[in-house]
Chain A
Amino acid sequence: MGGMGGGIILIPALTLLGIDIKHAIAISILSVIATSSGSASAYARDHITNLKVGMFLEMFTIAGAIAGARITLASSPRPLYVIFGVVLLASWVALLMDKHPSGQKFTQQDAFTHWLELEGSYPDFVTAQTVEYKAGRAYLGAPLMFGAGIVSGLLGIGAGAVKVLIHDLVMGLPPKVSTTTSNLIIGVTALAGTSVYLAAGLINPGLAVPVILGVVAGAFLGTRLLVRLTNQAVRLFFLVILLVMAAEMITRGLQGI
Chain B
Amino acid sequence: MKPYIRKALRSPQFLLFFTLAAALILIPVCAPWIAPNDPIENDYENLMLLHSEKYPLGTDQIGRCILSRLIWGGRTSLLIVFVVIVIAAAAGIFLGILSGYCGGWIDMLITRFTDIAVAVPETVFVIALVSVLGSSLGHTILAMSLVGWTEYCRVTRALVLSLKQNAYVEEARLGGMNEVQIIFRMILPNVIPYLLVNIAQDVGAKLLTLSGLSLLGLASQPPTPEWGYMLSEGRRFIQSDPHLIIYPGMTIVLNVIVFNLLGDSLRDILDPRFTRKRREWRKLKQWQSIE
A and B together in one complex = no
